[in-house]
Amino acid sequence: MKQWRPTSSGIWQGRDDTAEADNARRLFQTVTCSTTFCPEQQAGDIALLGFACDEGVKRNHGRTGAAEAPAILRRALANMASHVQHARLTDLGDICVAQDNLEEAQQALREAVLACQRAGKRTLVLGGGHETAYGHGLGVLDAFPQEAVGIINLDAHLDLRHAPQATSGTPFRQLAHHCEAQQRTFRYACCGLSMAANTQALLDEAAYRNVTIVEDLRCLSSPAEAIAQLEQFMAHLDRIYLTIDLDVLPGWEMPAVSAPAALGVPCAILMQLLAPICRSGKLQAVDLVEFNPSRDRDGQGAGVAARIAWQVIRWWG
């Protein structure tokens, strides 16, 4: 796989507290790092992949920089405490884009995710722009062709754009077209959506696609009602692919994205939404996308994103 590269050996580093106690460990001490892409040979059941790409953001006229995110997010995760659930994590390196060929990179991610899923792993992908979702989603759909796979997108945006080529704004329209071609139902929920950030054309497309929408205002005013909507959506699924666009968070909490949210869903509420998804027993794949290190302030955004990833791993039933 020419687009694949192993994670640099200097990424996973942190403070060593094992002189205190044998179980005073951090993620850098428990993660397994593979120098080859052989998911079937790895013991852990969560495969970590990076998608070092922001070509889709560039095509969507956004602020580039997300291609550097996988390395930065690994560094932020490295020094966090490792509880028993985190020892399941295996780092299988990055898929990279070559010469702006987004479609080739997405296909490489699709193949890598499919290989991991067929090896009995669940996939945690660190993007990259939201173009990550097309490759990741295809890999999950490929792995479970006879099952009801649903997509939950925590995002201010629907990302159902119509465009002449793939961008960070088109992944779910592309996945919808793929499902049509495969004669399978497109099951998609967008939670945290900002009505102010989505045109009527996008809302019409969502209605046509029978998309479940949970607005940001609903999440803020009544998290319990938002959770109930998500649980109703999940009830009819066999597998869940969860994608977390970090611009769902408020701009003051997550400045390091292409399009910071004027309102957004604070991390504390986002955690309430994540818990039932992670504990559902159906969660098969997760990604975090749109983190842009070049827009970060004192590592604030990296810390928030890493904490979300850390919590997902801990809750992943």
Give me the residue spans of the domains in the chain: 4-315
Q: Is there a binding annotation on residue 245?
A: yes
Give the list of residues 6+ apart from residue 77 with CB closer than 8 angstroms, or none: 27, 306, 309, 310
pLDDT recorded at residue 317:
75
Q: What is the mean pLDDT of residues 168-173?
A: 98
- pLDDT-based confidence at residue 191 (cuts at 50, 70, 90): very high
Sign, CA torsion 76/97/42/243: positive
What is the C-alpha to C-alpha distance for residues 194 and 218, in angstroms, rounded to an integer? Answer: 10
pLDDT recorded at residue 98:
87
Q: Is there a binding annotation on residue 142?
A: no
Over residues 196-220, the pLDDT tens digits come to 999 999 999 999 999 999 999 999 9
Q: Is there a binding annotation on residue 157?
A: yes
The reply to whether omega before 128 is within 30° of 0 (cis) is: yes
Per the CB < 8 A criterion, the answer to whether 245 and 130 are in contact is yes
Q: Is 309 helix (H, G, I), strand (E, B) or coil?
A: helix
pTM of the model: 0.98
Choose among 288, 289, 307, 295: nearest CA to 256. 295
pLDDT recorded at residue 106:
98
Considering the segment(s) 4-315 as one domain, its CATH architecture is 3-Layer(aba) Sandwich (3.40)
Residue 132: phi and psi, rounded to 5, are -50, -40
Q: Is there a binding annotation on residue 86?
A: no
Q: Is there a binding annotation on residue 155?
A: yes
pLDDT recorded at residue 79:
97
